[in-house]
Amino acid sequence: MIPHTVGILSILAAVSLCSCDRTKPTPVPESEHEISEGPANPGDAILAKLDRIIIPVIDFEDTTLWEAMDYLSIRAIELDRDTDPEYRGVSIVTKVRENDQPHPEFAMIRQLKRTDIPWTEALIESCQQANAEAYLTSVGFVICRNGQAPFPNFKAEEGEIWKKLTSP
């Protein structure tokens, strides 16, 4: 009986070794273990998201910059495809007043009529016409008149500027 048991154990051992060999993972080359670091710069993911938002129609005529930014803010929320409503849209801080009064030499969009315009392009064109600059910062977009620093503003005393989207 012992020789028979030894034979069965030998067969079981051989089967278990074979089955173990079949379940071993194939070695993965070292390069496939590298993890993507994501966007190269802060704000790149936000800009990529906003570039995918296409506004079907913009028809600004004698529109204030505040009205335009409100419109763009609403459209960003409405057209954002993010499944989590909390992450839809983008924060926009408009800092183009001095002593709580709008400056007469800026802040008006005389005419901007476009169809199927990417969100960021609409922001840039609106700011250029209104003599303003758009900065993507750690607190969202800060819109200010040309030459004005984006910080401090009513949302934050200081912050990090990630990208300037417009030029004077």
* Residue 138 backbone zone (phi > 0: left; psi -120 to 50: alpha; other: beta): alpha
Domain residue spans of the chain? 44-164
Is-contact 58 89, C-beta < 8 A? Answer: no
Q: What is the mean pLDDT of the chain?
A: 76
Mean pLDDT, contiguous 10-residue spans, the chain (168 residues): 45 39 40 45 86 94 92 93 84 73 70 95 93 90 88 84 79
- Kindly report, residue by residue over 66-111, the tens digit of the pLDDT: 899 999 999 999 999 887 888 888 889 888 665 556 555 567 899 9
What the block records as the tokens of 73 is 């803010």
Calpha distance 102→94 (Å, rounded): 11
Is-contact 153 95, C-beta < 8 A? Answer: yes
Q: What pLDDT score does 113 carry?
A: 96
Q: What pLDDT score does 69 carry?
A: 93
| pTM of the full structure | 0.70
Q: What pLDDT score does 34 carry?
A: 39
Calpha distance 64→70 (Å, rounded): 10
Reported CATH class of domain 44-164: alpha beta
Calpha distance 107→64 (Å, rounded): 6
Q: What pLDDT score does 96 carry?
A: 65
Calpha distance 54→119 (Å, rounded): 6
Cα pseudo-dihedral 79, 82, 93, 138, rounded to 10: -150
